[in-house]
Every structure is written in C-alpha cells, then in structure tokens.
Amino acid sequence: MSKNVLLTGGAGFIGHLVIKEILVNTDWNLTVIDRLSYAGNLERINEVVEEAGVKSKNRLKFFYHDLKAEPHEGIIERLSETNIILHIGASSHVTRSVKNPHIFIQDNIIGTFNLLELSRNLDNLELFYYFSTDEVFGPSEKDVKFLEWDRYNSKNPYSATKAAAEELTIAYANTYSIPSLITHCSNVYGERQNSEKFIPNTIKKILNDEEVLIHTDSKNNPGSRYYIFNQDLAKSILFLTKNYEKVKNKAYELQKKHPTKVNITGASLIDNLDVAKLISKRLGKEFNYQLQNKDPDRPGHDIKYGLDNTLLESLGGVYDRDFEKGINDTVDWYLDNKSWL
C-alpha cells in the first residue's frame, strides 16, 4: 500500500536526495515543505525529479511554509492523510548560529514544536522521523565514539537547538504516543552542497587560487570528521523509514529505551588538511593553506566528533562508499556544475 510522506527541507542539501531516493525506490506520494532560506534551492528538487523520471512528477507536491508559523487549518487539512513525517529541514551552519542564535531557536526548536503539534492531528501517522546531528554530543577524544543515548554536551547554539528539538520529540513520543525515530548523523558531503560548507568552499578556493583555512587544536593538529556521502545517507534514511518496526524492536532490545534512536556515520575519519589535499589532487592544482587554532567567528569550535553505528550496521542499513572515491565524485560534479560554487 502506498504511503503519504511529508518531508521538510526538501530544497536543502540532504532533503533533495531523500526526495530522489523515495521517487526512484518506492511508490509513495510525497509532499515537500520548505521555507526557501538562502540554503534552500528549488533547482535541487527540479534536477532530482528530472533524474528520477517524468512519471515521478505526479507523486510530488511542493508548497512553501515556514515552520516557525503555527500550521493553519488549510495546512492541517491538506496533510490530514499523512502516514510518515521526515523532518530534515533545519538551520545548520555553526558560525551563523554563533552570530544569530535567535534564528536557530526559532527554526529548530519552535519549528519542530509546530510540526509535532501537527502530528497530533494526524490519525494515520505511522512515523515521525527527526533528523539530528553528531554535534549534540560535543567533541569526542581520540577513538571515542558516542552511542545513541550518551549524554549531550552542546558546544554551540546550533547543536543546542538540535538537542532541544530531540528532547521535544522524545517528550511527544512519551506523552502523546507519537511513533518516533531520531537519528544522529556525521558530516555529510556531496553534490549540490551550499558553497559555504568546507568541501565545496575548498574546491572553490583552490580553483580560484585562494588560501584555504584549516581549523586546528591548540597543538596545530587539524580538525577531523567522519564523513558520509549524501547519496549514501539518503539510502540509510529510506532504509530506516521503510523498516521502522524492525528498527524499533532491535533498538529497544539493545538500548531498553524509547523512542528509537539510531546513529548514521561514515567509516572514514579524515582530517581537514587531508581532505583539502585529496581535493587538490583531483583538481590537479597545488594550494596554499593557513592553520588556525582560534576562530574569532566560531568560539567553541569542536575539533572532532564520533558516532558508534553498531546498531545500524546490525540492521544492514549502512551505505558508505570509499571516501576518496566520494571526494573524486564530488569534485567532478562541481567541475561539471560550477554555478553551484
């Protein structure tokens, strides 16, 4: 039986490939909400719908709505047959959150609250999926990898608002029996990412012979991240959504907690200088860089994160290509689509 899915943030970097994954690999009907901030771009949706095929257009509806506004009766009526909510839309740039935390509180906390309130009016809701980040746990030392229910230690307003929205989701699951799934995700890279992010920004700077800034710790060791390619992430999101009951049962067996939490992460831990070197290698261009251990625009900068994805691996939901292949795929895509830089 076909499902009716509501996806927030569909014009964003992560959301648009979830759209493609759903259109290509299910018969579900999809309604997309986006407020089209600077980070949202309808071209993302247009391009993946074209890639998915003409017939898929009939299964996709888009409408503009800012989740900071309480859903009105028209929206509630329009979404009354929704079975699945995939809440991916969020403000996500750490430096912007430091400069203007008010926007992040409104988008990530109030927006999630309004969507949860909407979910209480959906008689056929089967899943409320909240997409979160590894940053809620704060920095991890050496080989430390956080489990799903480890204590949070937010180091910036962005991660704090994501943690707060998670707690709202947990509260609604426990108070109103909203069937809920929360995932934490490591750093994502790939095609159509906003050029303010590290990898496309580095591609642009090397192409333009500009200096690349590399954040470090106090000993000048470059910051590092676990990376996952955006197409692989989309596959894991769809896997978890389609197999929610199985995932819920397995998670409870291991964690003895409710609602369900799952970590999604790539296996590749790469420091940012090595990322820049791989990009330089693929571009065939040398580059200049500066090491910076204190960024005045980003106090509380975390040098490394780490997630334990044993649960997802045990479920068979890990999709993770070799990092150098992923970087090469990404660089090649931007070379063919320089307007995105």
SS3 of residue 271 by DSSP: strand
75 vs 59: CA distance, rounded Å: 18
Which tokens hold the place of 48? 């993946």
pLDDT level of residue 298 (50, 70, 90 thresholds):
low
* CA–CA separation, 205 and 13 (whole Å): 20
Measured from the Cβ of residue 204, the count of other Cβ atoms closer than 10 Å reads: 16
Q: Which domains occur in the chain, in start order?
A: 4-194+226-268+305-322 (3.40.50.720)
Question: How sure is the predictor about 52, in pLDDT bands with cuts at 50, 70 and 90?
Answer: confident
**Lowest-confidence range among 133-137, 256-260, 296-300, 314-318?**
296-300
Active site residues: 158
- Residue 287 CB: number of other CB atoms within 10 A? 17
Question: For residue range 250-296, what is the model confidence (pLDDT) as tens digits?
Answer: 999 999 999 999 999 999 899 999 999 999 999 999 999 999 876 55
d(CA 273, CA 221): 9
Q: What is the pLDDT of residue 1?
A: 75
pTM of the model: 0.94
Which of 148, 184, 159 has its CA nearest to residue 265?
184
Structure tokens at 133: 């980040």
Q: Give the span between the Cα atoms of 209 and 229, in whole angstroms.
A: 26
Q: How many helices (H) and strands (E) does the chain have?
A: 13, 12
Q: Rounding to the nearest 10 degrees, give the CA dihedral for residues 84, 311, 162, 215.
A: -130
Cα separation, 269 vs 271, in Å, equals 7
Residue 103 φ then ψ, to 5°? -60, -40
As a whole number, mean pLDDT of residues 112-141 equals 95
> What is the rounded average pLDDT of the residues 124-143?
93
The contacts of residue 209 (CB under 8 Å, 6+ apart) are none
HEC profile of 95-163: HHHHHCHHHHHHHHHHHHHHHHHHHCCCCCCCEEEEECCHHHHCCCCCCCCECCCCCCCCCCHHHHHHH
Give the single-character DSSP code of 28.
-
Residue with tokens 């503009």: 64
